[in-house]
Amino acid sequence: MSDAVFLSDVGVISALGAGKDATWRAVSAPTGRGLVRDEVMGQSFWLGRVPRELYVRDLPPEFENRVNAILAVALDEVKSVSDAAIRRYGAERVACLIGSCDNGSETSLEALRARLSAGAFPPGYALAAQRADLPARFARYRTGAFGPAVSFSTACASSASAIASARNMIRAGLCDAAIVGGADIVSAAVALGFASLEAVSPDPCLPFSINRRGISLGEGAAVFVMSRDPLSDATIELLGVGESADASHMTAPHPEGIGAARAMSLALADAGLEPEDVDYVNLHGTGTELNDAMEAKATARVFPRGVPASSTKSLTGHTLGAAGAIELAICWLALSSRNADRNLPVQIWDGIRDPAIPALDIVDAPRSVSRLETCVSNSFAFGGCNVSLAIGRR
């Protein structure tokens, strides 16, 4: 049995729009960011909001929340290929693995307000709406897959962790295919929580700039159909996975990027790649002082000869638990037939480098390359959870 694992299709939605075509147009030749000014409980933020007109509305009551309304868009985009996986392997052999940080915080806050003002929770409110496994159970319901359903909440690496685990489950014979990815929203609890950490930029984020002042939050979803056989013409493989733990600080990364560098190096080794084989890196690139500094050091250490790189969070905002899947989706699109000109995803920033950190080859204007066969996507999270994923066309 081959160890190859294929990413036969992807569905994606973010502040940039819904679907593969809208997403690729927005990141390969951006005309602006997906960020807008929005107010959350009296505080103003730059947020990457998914427009409400894109939500799916036909959700049953037990699954009705904003995370699932956004996740449904991504699931529906891969329906033909997820159906093909179910026909080929059987529904019980197709797993659903979804990463998300939110577990119904909007529902819980609304219920708490009602409880405090009226003395009782609103009719129909149930604690099950806040279960961490709700997105994975919803994915099973929406797709008809009946294999293992698992939710991941490893902070901002959640969906990258889900993708790594799906690969392991397929190779271990626990399933033959997986509908895998992540979804997240900017709830009031999320926005105000990051603001309390003084991690939110008052202006649109500027990854790797000397003027960076923090993150811009975003929301969205992306899901892949991963399988042991190709199920479409898009024969893109998950070539390598690298995971590490800093064990350094609850919220701050290791200042020298030791764990981040290890995750990238493990992904390359797992894929059988040398650093010069990689054509593009999608950086975690949050725009915070500490994350960008350590990631620049780690990337320069792993790729001493340089590599084209960008942070697409400058366009989508930081989509938290969905970020790993959305950014791997952008890498998938770069390798796909939609990108016949071999363009690279673009980062928007002020172009003013921080001289205190290594200079990276930031793709900050439309750029085409002569070779585009392999990409790496980084996700680094609170708790020192680091995941790097390498994909390629073979």
User: Which residues form the catalytic set?
Assistant: 156, 284, 318
Which residue has tokens 């500094």?
293
Would you mind telling me the total number of residues written for the chain in this entry?
394
Write out the E strands in 100-173.
149-152
| Nearest-angstrom CA–CA distance, 94 and 2 | 18
Write out the E strands in 63-155.
94-99, 149-152
Residues ≥6 apart with Cβ < 8 Å to 361: 306, 307, 308, 309
Residues ≥6 apart with Cβ < 8 Å to 56: 69, 72, 73, 76
Is residue 96 a contact partner of residue 147, using CB atoms and an 8 Å limit?
A: yes
The Cβ of residue 196 has, within 10 Å, a number of other Cβ atoms equal to 9
DSSP tag of 239: E
Burial label for 245, CB within 10 Å (0-12, 13-18, 19+), is middle
